Each structure stands twice: as C-alpha cells, then as structure tokens.
Chains A and B, each alone.
Chain A
Amino acid sequence: MRKAVGLILVLVVGISFWVVLKNVPFGHDKIGVGNHYIENAIQETGATNIVTSVVVSYRGLDTLGEVTVLFIAALGIGMVLFSVKKTSAKERQTSSMVVQTGTRILFPFIILFGIYIFVHGHLTPGGGFQGGAVIASGFLLTYLVWPELETKRERFGAAESLGGLVFVTIAILGLVFTGYFLGNFLPTGTQNHLFSAGIIPVIYIAIGIKVGSELAGIVADMIHKE
C-alpha cells in the first residue's frame, strides 16, 4: 500500500521535474549574474578562486548561515546524546601495532594538510569547510585507534564558539569600518599571494578551526555515547 503511494508520488514528482528541465538546456551558456562575478571578482575581492569570493564576499550571509547550521547540529547532537553519568568505554578490540604506529605518524600530516587547505582557500580549491572536515577526520582516526582518549570536550566547544564569534565580529567590524555588514576592510593585496584578498583568509581560518573542532566534537559525542 505504501509502495503504491510511493510509486505514484515519485512518478508525479518525476514528471514535474522533466517538464521544467526540458527548458534548462544542458551545457548552454545561461550564466546570468555569474558573468559579473567572473569579470570582477579579482579586482573587487582579490581572490583568484572565484568560488571563494562568491562564498565569502558576495554571498557572505549564506556562509554565516551555513556556519550557524553546523553549530546548531553540533549543539543539538551534544544535547540529544547528553547524559549525566559518563559511560565508560566498553572493552574494544585494541588496534594492531601497525594501525597505532601509522596513526601516530599520519595524524600531524593530516592536521597540516587540513590547515593548508583552509589557509589557501582564496588561491586554490578548498576553503574553511573542506579543511575543517579534513582536520576532523584526523581526530576521528585517533578516536578509532585509542577510544579511551578523552580530548577535553570543552576545548572543542570553546574553539567552536570562538570561531563563530570571530566570524560575526569580523562581519560587525565591516559594518563599523565600511558601513556595510560584511564589508571588506582589509587591503586586497597582490593577487596570488598568500596575504591577499582582504578578510577572506581571516574568515576562512576562523571557519576552518570552527568546523574542525565542531565535527571532531560531534564524532566524540557519538563515540563516547555507547
């Protein structure tokens, strides 16, 4: 019965998709507002990665919202899985020596790679979210190998709140210095250099730290739950 309803619904939705998509020709040049960004991104923002300048400068409020969504998810998970008594880590199969040694060697490189990704967000593909995810995966690796490792949960929480506060503060400072919320008040610098693109690298560093500690905190909550 549910299968029949599901099939009918899927069919109706599919037909409506097809009707609209017939008129969005694939591969044709239908860039509207995007042309302005392609032509002017390098002068107005100084970042050679056009996607980064769109994400942080032109559509910065979306990024603020996105950062908030992750914050809400982390808060929600911390709240749902909250328990007053600390559950002790169950007896797990300890990882083999190969995995332990390998993790000890790899962990710093993973963190370094994550930091590289978000510091260079305005020059190469990447950015705060991608770098933060890589950092969190490094922490996930250590939790898998040493489940009793109790990196202080509060430190993750503090780092995450600080990262978010830095982002909102920069946005409000933009209001103070340039009269526009999220306005760019740092020099744009020479293109393709590390210290260029105004507030973009600063925001991305804040986001990278925030997302990294946030996702690591979510992983910690879920692992220490059982």
Chain B
Amino acid sequence: MDLVANSMYYLGAGALILIGLYMVITKNNLIKIILGLSLVDTGTHVLLIAIGYVKGRTAPILTEELLESVGEAIPKVVDPIPQALVLTAIVIGVGVLALGLSLAIKVYEHNGTLDVRKIRGLKW
C-alpha cells in the first residue's frame, strides 16, 4: 500500500507519457496525433512536479507565518525549481501545440482530409 501511495504520481505521469506516445505512433487522425503530443507534455510536467515534491511541506510562497521560518535548518516549503521549470515547459508546449494546430488547418485546406494515410504527397 505504501509502495502504491509513493509511486502513484510517478505511475500516473509515466502512464500519461506512454499513452500519449502510443497515440502519436498509432493513430491516423492528425488531430489525435496532436492530442497525443499534448498528453506527452502533460505527463512530463506532472513528472517534474512529482520529482520536486517533499512530504509534509507546502507551496513555496512566503506568507507571514512562513517568513519567520526562513533560515531554519529544515525548510517548510517544497522545492521551487521544478515549479519554475514546469512554468516554462507549459508555455513551450502551448507554443508547439498552437503551431501544430494551425499547420493542421493548412494541411486540411490542401488535402481535404486529416487522415495521415492519405496525406502522402511526399514519397521517397
């Protein structure tokens, strides 16, 4: 039970990444492939935050009570670095997703379909 409680977040993040990867590889609809990319991104963000979590501590925003505890041997807040990393990674993911969707709009305009098996203009 303890093992499950401890690894739940890693398992969840990993599952998101793997499901997203599977979607990118096997799905035929362009929008589903882009959705798979979004899932992979989300899973990676959850993974990063889970790596930075410390049990029993709170968010790294220094309210009045926490301000007094600054400088004590054991801090009372979670690691702030993964949160900063995820902030950046979310924005980057949004950028890629938006660009991908606009490209999908154009591909649909040219080909009339979103099925990747039929969009094979560029052969070997």
Contacts and interface: CB of A to CB of B under 8 A. Distances in A.
Q: Do chains A and B touch in the complex (CB under 8 A)?
A: yes
Could you tell me the dominant secondary structure of chain A's interface residues?
helix
Interface stretch (A72-80, A100-108, A180-188): A72-80
6 nearest CB pairs, A to B: A73-B95, A6-B25, A27-B55, A50-B60, A34-B79, A54-B84
Interface string A39-63: 1011000001111001100010011
Interface residues of B, number: 50
Contacts, number: 144
**Which interface residue of B14, B55, B62 has the most chain A CB atoms within 10 A?**
B62
B21 to A, nearest CB: 6
A66 B85 CA distance: 10
Interface string A208-226: 0000000000100110010
A27 B56 CA distance: 8
B99 A73 contact: yes
Interface of A: 2-3, 5-7, 9-10, 13-14, 17-18, 21, 24-31, 33-35, 37-39, 41-42, 48-51, 54-55, 59, 62-63, 65-66, 69-70, 72-73, 76-77, 80-81, 124-125, 127, 129, 191-192, 218, 221-222, 225
B91 A129 contact: yes
